Structure 1
């Protein structure tokens, strides 16, 4: 199995796209701190449409190979434009990045981001029960972890953020790894290429969404290219079977001849599907 260099994954997700918005159409709130670890801030950027905001929000997981890269928020305007045009508020969430942090720590971060946004939802003009999550590759994995293993929070926690739920109402995942058990084996090329996978193999089940699908999971859209050599399409097909078994509203969009990282028409088709899915499942019908 061919393993591409991590930077390729990041590049496919975070290519700067020149914005086409007038300055008054979108308000950007950069570098909001939602937590701290090891003396460092965990941050997200907020993109608020200034016309016809619909009250729903989408959290985008900034993650490729579980690396989380900062970029000028203006460079992401084009990427989020289809959602912003429909009135969605977008949160671009960064987590503690590989190689410093491993997947169990990364998951804690993105859980906290959902809790923080729910707790402060009024400040951002969004409704706490209309939060969706979206990501590609590692970001897709994290999106599915949130969708399949969320909780209601700990009412006894001293930290108010941890008292809030990390549940989301809808999920979209591009070419996501759904079963980490094979990846955390030291004999796997993934284990050495992606340092975030270098954690206790006994915990792999806990972070494999495939193993946690239940009937109360949120509606989930999977989008995968049938020529993906980094994350085989079997990952999406296998979890799709579990969604069907548990009667979770779910769809798998297969993009023919597409590899890992959508471009051109493939990107446009996937983007249109993202907007349609969140409109269907986050907005009142």
Structure 2
């Protein structure tokens, strides 16, 4: 059965606009939080409305976070910002957004699903959206009931590229707009990358993602080849990929893991034999379907979730 999400207006309801940088209380589960209440920087303003269909959204004009509360009695004070994949063309908001949020909720984790700008904008706008999301959550940590030092990112495919961008380019000038909140750290405290696009290199990259994020500007390839942006300040990272992935070569995961190891960053990499690209939480994929158990163990080992 097709899942059709309610199409959102480009102009959010006043009650949602009120949820901005200075929260007094946590919002209700499912609340949509505008990322740029002062106005979206660089907004094109000439494109068609957002399009929602089959659990996916395209043509994002108003970046937002969707708030998801932990579904347990003992929340962990950990938060994760989830970046859905879709090649920087669409966002797989249900399969790589809500499904992950529901799973994270069961681990006692507060989740925020990011709706970021896509190919219509290209770099640096998706980077600005994810870094603004981290800054917003950290700046409002007390209201959300989380620890400002326990904020991670999780991304799939091109969303994995965005999450890894946040992990490596968190202090880059391209990620700032001059707003006062830029003074808040945008460095995530940990990252989970699902079959991520990492490199812009020929023969390794996902061509569609590279085209959409760089707009064919070769000068952006070195900056957005994230294996070359890793430093000792990159946060601890878990990477999940499969050998069967025919869309994003597993070399992306290998390159990033190697860079993390060489920089002395705590990292774990699981490469399963079977499992297609975009597998999400799909069952019946052999050992690959057990990746949530490995992720839970990794989070537990880092003291980020319930034991």
Aligning the two structures, in what range does the TM-score lie when normalised by the shorter sequence?
0.7 to 0.9
Which structure 2 residues correspond to residues 46-125 of structure 1 after superposition, within 5 A? 46-49=67-70, 51-69=73-91, 77-98=98-119, 100-125=120-145
Cα distance in structure 2, aligned partners of 1:248 and 1:189:
25
Listed as ranges, the matches of 1:245-284 within 5 Å are 245-262=262-279, 263-266=282-285, 268-281=289-302, 283=304
Q: CA deviation at 1:194?
A: 4.9
The alpha-carbon deviation at position 283 of structure 1 amounts to: 2.6
- The answer to whether structure 1 residue 177 and structure 2 residue 197 are counterparts is yes
Superposition RMSD in Å? 3.4
Q: Which residue of structure 1 lines up, in the alignment, with residue 33 of structure 2?
A: 32
Q: Does residue 159 in structure 1 map to residue 179 in structure 2? A: yes
CA contact (8 A) 1:180 1:204 kept: yes
* Unmatched segments (≥5 aa) in structure 1: 1-10, 17-25
* TM-score where L is the length of structure 2: 0.73
> TM-score of the superposition, structure 1-length normalised?
0.78
Q: Distance in 2 between matches of 1:171 and 1:189?
A: 21
Report the Cα offset of residue 211 of structure 1: 0.2
Corresponding residue SS for 1:49 = coil
Provide the residue aligned with 2:163 in structure 1. 143
Offset at 1:124? 1.1
| Count of aligned positions | 258
1:257 partner SS? coil
More helix per residue = 1
- Please say if residues 62 and 95 of structure 1, whose CA atoms lie closer than 8 Å, have aligned partners that are also in contact: no
> Equivalent residue of 1:29, what SS?
coil
Match of 1:208 in 2: 225
Bigger relative contact order (CA 8 A; separation at least 6) = 1
Report the Cα offset of residue 183 of structure 1.
7.9
Counterpart residue number, 2:240:
223
* 1:164 shift after superposition: 0.9
CA distance in 2, matches of 1:218, 1:274: 16
Which one of the candidate residues 66, 71, 75 is aligned to 1:45?
A: 66
Pair 1:183–1:81, CA change in 2 (3 A): same
Change (3 A) 1:132 1:278: farther
**Higher alpha-carbon deviation: 166-175 or 237-246:** 237-246
Question: How far off is 1:252 after superposition?
Answer: 0.9
Q: 1:150 to 1:208 in 2, by over 3 A?
A: same
Bigger Cα displacement from structure 2, 78-87 vs 142-151: 78-87
- Is 2:216 aligned against 1:195? no
Could you say if the C-alpha distance between residues 15 and 125 of structure 1 is closer, same or farther in structure 2, counting changes exceeding 3 Å? farther
* Alpha-carbon distance change, 146 to 71 in structure 1, aligned in 2, over 3 angstroms: closer
Distance, in Å, in 2 between the alignment partners of 1:273 and 1:143 is 19
Write the distance in 1 (CA, Å) between the matches of 2:209 and 2:28: 40
Distance 2:100 2:236 in 1: 23
CA distance in 2: counterparts of 1:261 and 1:63, whole angstroms: 8
